[in-house]
Structure 1
Amino acid sequence: MKDKIYICREFSETEELHSHSGIYPYRAVSERPSLNSRGEYSTPSISDDKTVDYARIAALGPERIFEEDIAENLYNNQDDIHHHADIGWYTDLYTGYVADEEKRLKSSSGGLATALLCHLLETGEVTGVIHMKASSEGPLFQYGVSRTVEEVQSGSRTRYYPGSLFDVINEVRDTPGKYAVVGIPPFISELRRLENLEPVLKKRITVHVGLVCAHQKTANYASYLAWQSGIDPDRMTSIDFRTKVSGHPANEYCTTIYYNDDDGNHCEKLVAQSDLRGTNWGHGMFKSYFYDFSDDAFNETADIVFGDAWLPEFVSDYRGTNISIVRSQYISSILDSMRRSGKISLKNLSETDLLLSQKSLVRQTRREFQYRLRIFKKNGWAIPLRYRAIRSDGNLTVQRKLIQHLRGRISRASNQLFPLAREKHSLLLYDIPMFPLVFAYKIVDKFGRFTKKYFA
């Protein structure tokens, strides 16, 4: 039987199972992570004496405390607390948006997350906000600390882009204050585990704001959108993945690509999402490998969680509407104050409607999780040594099984082929071999929609 050190070392050397958050390199090594050719932050080599720490913190680590156990310790002792197997602990469920029309239009969804973060700064509840921001050099976006409302608002857009918390954790450790942090599920849960090992971080990071996230994209996703739009990825200076379009449903947005032309002029190009290949999230193109094993659908260890209200009555409004899961009574009281002052609009939401608003996410991360594990194991692909026993659908149709097979193939192929296409300066080296996989997915998906419509 393998001993603990051996198991932890084996995990630390399996980079496909790393979340690339920069959290455990901070704990285990002093070397700063950097983006690799796959568009992910590489994890530096970790010495044997640090591998157990690493396996305790990592989102898929064999020694980790599961999210549900972390969340129970955080939230279960509150009054008027509720629990749902998929949603987790919560005090309130809402749909809503920021009341200021201009701020709502500038946001990617309903603007609630930015409104809360600005309110926390304005009222002195926090002195800094840790979130993804535009970068002046290197990656297009990276984690940074905003200390003014203006800084928070300038970084309020959705970033389908990887980020490393390595530098900001050092800043929090070295700079006294109270901080709010924004992150996807694996990042928030890893921070929670790190805070249990480092009390100074636990004391200073006082608010954890979670995002609902179908999967993490690599940096190559942004490059692919630019390249197929006729823009050299190396000339791209920024990208707005979700530009709202008046008169269109909220899920029919555009992408704005910012770049420098041959003469050094700053330019921008607006492209409809429907005209861009790779934007169907069901394909899983440029998905980080580890996210196939993230079963934390609703960011269970975050104090408050924001996502999109993908429900018919809200999708028709191009301005965007949020869903929100409130887990902390402290945050619930702040939201109530913001609502009473007219800063935000909130309506109660049922568990059923919350799950319907993210039904594809729940199906991918929860219902079809166990089957996906079997596929990966059969193909000889890396899988976690330890994972949660979640409720999965044991009666998947042939169509849903094929979807899982194709998603795995598309994800892996996209991450392998794109670096080669960049190296050879030929987009065709990516698009041609990807075409049959994407075409097969479309056929299987359409067949599923047809049978559901006429035979369900």
Structure 2
Amino acid sequence: MKKYMEAKILFDTVISNDYCIGCGVCALVDDSPFRIELDKYGKLVATASKEALSISTAKVLDVCPFSGVSKNEDELSDIFFDKNIGYTKEIGKFISCYAGYVKEGSFREKGSSGGFAKWIGCELLKRNKIDYFVQLQANEDESQTDLLFDYAIFNDAEAVIKGSKSAYHPSTLANIVKKIKAMEGRFAITGVPCNIKAIRLLSLQYPELRSKIKYTIGIVCGGMKTANYSKLVGWELGIHPESLTKIDFRGKFDNRPANEKIYKVWSTNKRQESRDVSQIYGTGYAAGFFKPNPCDFCDDVLAETADISIGDAWLKKYVKDPKGTSLIVVRNQELHKILSDSLGQDTIFLESITAEEAASAQAGGLRHRRDGLSRRLMKKEKRGIWVPTKRVKPNEFEITFKRKLVYDLREKIAKKSHVAFVKALEKNDLKVFHKIMDPYILEFGIVNFFDLAPRLPRRVLMYIKRKIGR
């Protein structure tokens, strides 16, 4: 490969074809020409000038999680985890799988699902396994109306609870990893699968980073959202995008299943609004509103390169508990011991589950990221469009006609929602967004009629109410 080529290749492949998730590791490489910016669609993306690209000597292809050149999740797992632990294609390597929740303190109440991500960070600090815990937290700077969440560093175990719950909002590693590199100490960091993979790849290029980041806590992910998703939620609840300062995606009901949530939003004048997610236009997660394109070309749901992965235990046995139950996949022996020790202290509740049950708890995400991905790769291949090399192969799976319609429509809804919302912002009229997206919502409902049938009466009623309300 010629000198000065890698940055240009990354730009022409990953970035130009909309596979950049904005993780920011390319901007952290020596002589990098890249910077991470938020575009008008609410996506964090890497960008660089033509001049900077033409002279950069940065080695960026091996650190980008979507380059198609960097190591995949299986290869990274072989480097970072014991070779003799369990493995399945769905969840990656594992020592043990659990479902459970934190019994002590307010971790379960104030956290996502069963509260384990924050609890792990708190325990690592208490046990002097780390000096700093890195996690997302709500941005307290009210001038930052686009990036509502950012990574923060905690060295006080009791303060860990202040971190955010699930954040369906873009964030980048670029700034926080710079801080980690400049500091002395031992760190643990949380992140969605692509971010943890990016950290692993970067740490292979920079051994000093690998020595500092002792533990990675992966957040199970079915796909991210752009910043405009948060703006839509606020607008639907009566807070204009320019006034939105904060959002909570994980309000819990006292007497309804854990998969039914409340969204809360705040404005610059401290106004607060909240609503049942099922009553907010465009928040049906299965439809794919505001999903960044790279999420549709990722085959990792359970953060397979993380020392421990934590998500929602969407299993019939647990979902009825309104307080939430965590799905936990452990790949690190030290973290496994912390869980085992704590069971004896009665501070947590855990039930062992099989790897098959762990995969079943995230079956929808896995189906979309494996079966659906094979179709999306095939379509790109037929059109001669560059795609990153994935573990899933084009047209690998047999897919029913109905599922093909669902996967294709999700892609269409994601793309249309990005454009439609920008038009609504330009017109300063939320109805513009509704008018463009209504036909796709109707089509998605028709395609999924029988799957949605048990919930159809309530959804139809809400749809009619929204129409009358306008």
**Normalised by the size of structure 1, how large is the TM-score?**
0.92
> 1:71 matched to which residue of 2?
77
> 2:435 matched to which residue of 1?
432
Residue 142 of structure 1: which of 121, 131, 150 is its match? 150
1:395 aligns with 2:403: no
1:294–1:365 CA contact under 8 A, matched in 2: yes
1:299–1:305 CA contact under 8 A, matched in 2: yes
Residue 256 of structure 2: which of 248, 253, 256 is its match? 248
1:217 aligns with 2:220: no
For the residue of structure 2 that corresponds to 1:324, the secondary structure is strand
2:63 is aligned with what amino acid?
A: I
CA distance in 2, matches of 1:140, 1:269: 16
For the residue of structure 2 that corresponds to 1:202, the secondary structure is helix
CA distance in 1, matches of 2:19, 2:165: 28
- 1:229-257 deviations in whole A, cap 9, x for unaligned? 11112212211111001011111111111
User: What are the residue-to-residue correspondences of 1:403-418 with 2, within 5 Å?
Assistant: 403-418=406-421
In structure 2, stretches of 5+ residues that fail to align are: 454-470
Residue 387 of structure 1 and its aligned partner are, at CA, apart by 2.2
> 1:329 matched to which residue of 2?
333
User: What are the residue-to-residue correspondences of 1:82-101 with 2, within 5 Å?
Assistant: 82-100=86-104
CA distance in 2, matches of 1:15, 1:391: 18
> 1:182 matched to which residue of 2?
190
1:409 is aligned with what amino acid?
A: K
1:317 aligns with 2:321: yes
1:93–1:326 CA contact under 8 A, matched in 2: yes
CA distance in 2, matches of 1:196, 1:171: 18
In structure 2, relative to structure 1, the CA distance for the partners of 1:320 and 1:385 (3 Å cut) is closer
2:137–2:149 CA contact under 8 A, matched in 1: yes
In structure 2, relative to structure 1, the CA distance for the partners of 1:359 and 1:341 (3 Å cut) is same
1:19 is aligned with what amino acid?
A: I
1:310–1:357 CA contact under 8 A, matched in 2: yes
CA distance in 2, matches of 1:112, 1:91: 17
> 2:162 matched to which residue of 1?
154
Identity %: 28
1:76 is aligned with what amino acid?
A: D
Residue 304 of structure 1 and its aligned partner are, at CA, apart by 0.2
1:180–1:206 CA contact under 8 A, matched in 2: yes
2:377–2:393 CA contact under 8 A, matched in 1: no
> 1:130 matched to which residue of 2?
134
CA distance in 2, matches of 1:409, 1:444: 14
> 2:423 matched to which residue of 1?
420
2:373–2:392 CA contact under 8 A, matched in 1: no
In structure 2, relative to structure 1, the CA distance for the partners of 1:51 and 1:30 (3 Å cut) is closer
For the residue of structure 1 that corresponds to 2:223, the secondary structure is coil
Residue 202 of structure 2: which of 182, 188, 194 is its match? 194
CA distance in 1, matches of 2:180, 2:283: 35
For the residue of structure 1 that corresponds to 2:59, the secondary structure is helix
Residue 343 of structure 1 and its aligned partner are, at CA, apart by 2.0
> 1:454 matched to which residue of 2?
none
2:175 is aligned with what amino acid?
A: D
1:318 is aligned with what amino acid?
A: P
2:27 is aligned with what amino acid?
A: P
In structure 2, relative to structure 1, the CA distance for the partners of 1:111 and 1:274 (3 Å cut) is same
For the residue of structure 2 that corresponds to 1:94, the secondary structure is strand
In structure 2, relative to structure 1, the CA distance for the partners of 1:109 and 1:50 (3 Å cut) is farther
**Count of aligned positions:** 444
1:91–1:327 CA contact under 8 A, matched in 2: yes
Residue 34 of structure 1 and its aligned partner are, at CA, apart by 2.8
Residue 448 of structure 1 and its aligned partner are, at CA, apart by 5.4
1:108–1:244 CA contact under 8 A, matched in 2: no
CA distance in 2, matches of 1:299, 1:50: 31
CA distance in 1, matches of 2:238, 2:382: 39
1:374 is aligned with what amino acid?
A: M
CA distance in 1, matches of 2:41, 2:11: 23
For the residue of structure 2 that corresponds to 1:190, the secondary structure is helix
CA distance in 2, matches of 1:104, 1:197: 37
- 1:252-293 deviations in whole A, cap 9, x for unaligned? 111111123xxx3x2211201111012211111100111110
> 1:305 matched to which residue of 2?
309
CA distance in 2, matches of 1:153, 1:257: 20
1:117 is aligned with what amino acid?
A: G
1:366–1:391 CA contact under 8 A, matched in 2: no
CA distance in 1, matches of 2:363, 2:289: 20
1:59 is aligned with what amino acid?
A: P
Residue 47 of structure 1 and its aligned partner are, at CA, apart by 2.2
Residue 2 of structure 1 and its aligned partner are, at CA, apart by 12
- 1:380-434 deviations in whole A, cap 9, x for unaligned? 7x55242224597632111100001101100111112212211221112211111
RMSD: 2.3
> 2:460 matched to which residue of 1?
none
Residue 50 of structure 1 and its aligned partner are, at CA, apart by 4.7
In structure 2, relative to structure 1, the CA distance for the partners of 1:438 and 1:393 (3 Å cut) is farther
- 1:182-238 deviations in whole A, cap 9, x for unaligned? 111111111101001111111101101001100011111110001011111221221
In structure 1, stretches of 5+ residues that fail to align are: 451-456
Q: Which range is displaced more, 21-30 or 149-158?
A: 21-30
> 1:453 matched to which residue of 2?
none
CA distance in 2, matches of 1:110, 1:39: 30
Q: Which range is displaced more, 435-444 or 27-36?
A: 27-36
Residue 169 of structure 1 and its aligned partner are, at CA, apart by 0.7
CA distance in 2, matches of 1:388, 1:236: 39
CA distance in 2, matches of 1:379, 1:282: 26
Q: Which range is displaced more, 336-345 or 118-127?
A: 336-345
Residue 38 of structure 1: which of 38, 41, 52 is its match? 41
> 2:275 matched to which residue of 1?
271
